[in-house]
Amino acid sequence: MNPTIIDFKPLGDDRGHLVAVESGNSIPFDIQRVYYIYETAEGVDRGFHAHKALNQVAVAISGSCDMVLDDGKDKVTVPLNSPTEGVLIGPGMWRVMSNFSKDCVLLVFADAHYDESDYIRDYDAF
């Protein structure tokens, strides 16, 4: 399994950095929802589910964490540690986020509004 890594173009100058994110351009879908995960307690892992239809792109805009993706056959760990690098997570992908640094802010773009019925939270059912 080769996860799709998305490189965002840093628009930096001597004042610092800026990244612009555009639906259908840097993100390969229409963005319907944005959420972020921060101040994750030490040693906590999150996720432990797959989605039936949802597409998402996750970027650690501060700090770092690992995104473990499992398609049912292969498992790959994608280190997220750059505000200019995201990972595309499509449907049918079990995900676990771990090794959150204290300062990690994980920003996620999604192509649909929150819908609990889109979650598969039972690994055996997955």
Q: What Cα–Cα distance (Å) separates residue 108 from each residue in 11, 56, 58, 87, 112?
A: 20, 7, 4, 10, 12
40 binds ligand T46 (CB under 6 A): no
Q: Which is nearer to ligand T46, 46 or 70 (CB)?
A: 46
How many of the other CB atoms lie within 10 Å of CB of 92?
Answer: 13
- Options 35, 79, 103, 123; binder of ligand T46; rule CB under 6 A: 35
**Is 51 part of the annotated catalytic residue set?**
no
Q: How far apart are CA 50 and CA 96, in angstroms?
A: 9
Q: Which residues bind ligand T46 (CB under 6 A)?
A: 33, 35, 37, 46-47, 56, 58, 95, 108, 114
- Residues marked as catalytic: 49
